[in-house]
Amino acid sequence: MIPVPAKAGAFYRKEINMKAYVIYEAGGPEKLKLEERPIPEIKPGWSLVKVTGFGLNHSEIFTRQGLSPSVHFPRVLGIECTGTVAASSDPKRLPKGSRVLSFMGEMGRAYDGSYEEYVLLPNDQIYPVKTRLSDAELAAVPETYYTAWGSLQNLKIKADDRVLVRSAASGVGIAAAKLLRGAYPKLRLSGSTRNLNRAGVLKAAGYNAVILDQDGRLQTDQTFDKVLELIGPATLRDTFAHTAEGGIVCSTGELGGVWNIDLEPIQDLPANGYLTSFYSGNVSAEKLGAMLAFIESRGIDVRPDRVFAFDDLPDAHRWLESSAGHGKAVVLTAQKPPLDGSPDKA
């Protein structure tokens, strides 16, 4: 436990308990139950992180809905966080008070995740960071920007490529646009959406052109050299049909809710084309460090699109699922939302 003062009393109770959202059964955002629980104790190889913020991800919606068979309830969800080390089993690498981030590695799935004030994490999954980014900016980065970064590397983007991001308004899609613009200011970058009302948001993020994605079909005759496919198997064949000869498709997302594809490579793949993927679960500290350095040196705007207070987490899930949701939403554990409820830039 966190050190306890000699005299127990109100302060004592406050210091050993924390707030956590626990899910006991699958369902809507109302199934995220806010509770008081004891702050976890550290154990060998694991350290305690005081959570300052965390990003929300589409996979957490799937898990909440009961679509992650390996996740057993009750569970505290949340696959990423930023914070400071509160108690360490490796004080040399992870001194108390140091600023850190963490994501994936079965966090919020096999063991409790970031939807709580303190989270117990394996040391090898805690990454110390030195950055000028604010808490809200840093909270927006780990899972979403790392996924976009890794996918774009696998696409082997070149400055003269014609690039399409399918589901451009998703958190990963907006992150991809910002990273690409930082690297290639003149890149021809298109983004698809099912809702053309998002065109303004997409252009502000860096897209030159916005394409309607209607009933799983891109409403264009254009082809692209590189495609970041975030809807996944549900639209992959249509994506291949819009991929130029020798092009590369990186199928990273599964927003369409379809996990497999019956593929006939000779017929279905683009001529002389390539299909690849990216999995953020394989976190490389080196790759993560390179990405954070790139974000800072290029001044990439990683501010989240929405910031929610911890007490409003179920509303944050509702927003992400709604047609209003786009880009990255983060929850700040110790912050109240803006009084005017505006689309809050951190």
Ligand X SMILES: NC(=O)c1ccc[n+]([C@@H]2O[C@H](COP(=O)([O-])OP(=O)(O)OC[C@H]3O[C@@H](n4cnc5c(N)ncnc54)[C@H](OP(=O)(O)O)[C@@H]3O)[C@@H](O)[C@H]2O)c1
Given candidates 53, 253, 270, 337, which one binds ligand X under the rule CB under 6 A?
Answer: 253
Question: Rule CB under 6 A: is residue 305 a binding residue for ligand X?
Answer: no
How far apart are the C-alpha atoms of 283 and 297, rounded to whole Å? 22
Least distance CB 273 / ligand X (angstroms): 20
How far apart are the C-alpha atoms of 244 and 232, rounded to whole Å? 18
Structure tokens at 6: 């000699």
Selected range binding ligand X among 3-11, 108-116, 248-256, 301-309, rule: CB under 6 A: 248-256
- Residue ranges of alpha helices (H) inside 250-329 are 265-268, 285-297, 313-321
Q: What is the DSSP letter of 131?
A: -
Residue placing its CB nearer to ligand X in the complex, 278 or 308: 278
Strands 306-309 and 80-87: unpaired
6's CB contacts (< 8 A; 6+ apart) are none
User: How is the beta sheet containing 209-214 ordered, strand by strand?
Assistant: 217-218, 209-214, 188-193, 162-166, 224-229, 243-251, 274-276
Angle between the N-to-C axes of helices 142-154 and 285-297, in degrees from 0 to 180, rounded to the nearest 10: 100
Site string for ligand X, 202-231 (x = CB under 6 A): -----------x----------------xx
Selected range binding ligand X among 15-23, 127-135, 275-283, 333-341, rule: CB under 6 A: 275-283
Q: Binding to ligand X (CB under 6 A): which residues in 321-340?
A: 325-326
Question: Rule CB under 6 A: is residue 141 a binding residue for ligand X?
Answer: no
Question: Rule CB under 6 A: is residue 254 a binding residue for ligand X?
Answer: yes
Least distance CB 306 / ligand X (angstroms): 11
Q: Which amino acid makes up residue 101?
A: L
The DSSP string of 150-166 is HHHHHTT--TT-EEEEE
Selected range binding ligand X among 128-136, 140-148, 155-163, 332-340, rule: CB under 6 A: 140-148
Selected range binding ligand X among 55-63, 109-117, 121-129, 295-303, rule: CB under 6 A: 55-63
- Asked if residue 35 lies in contact with residue 19, where contact means CB atoms within 8 angstroms, the answer is yes
Selected range binding ligand X among 30-38, 114-122, 192-200, 259-267, rule: CB under 6 A: 192-200
Question: Rule CB under 6 A: is residue 59 a binding residue for ligand X?
Answer: yes
Least distance CB 30 / ligand X (angstroms): 19
Question: Rule CB under 6 A: is residue 198 a binding residue for ligand X?
Answer: yes
Phi first, then psi: what are they for 111, rounded to 5°?
-140, 170
Q: Binding to ligand X (CB under 6 A): which residues in 144-183?
A: 144, 147, 167, 169-172
- What residue ranges bind ligand X (CB under 6 A)? 57-59, 143-144, 147, 167, 169-172, 193-195, 198, 213, 230-231, 252-257, 278-280, 320, 325-326
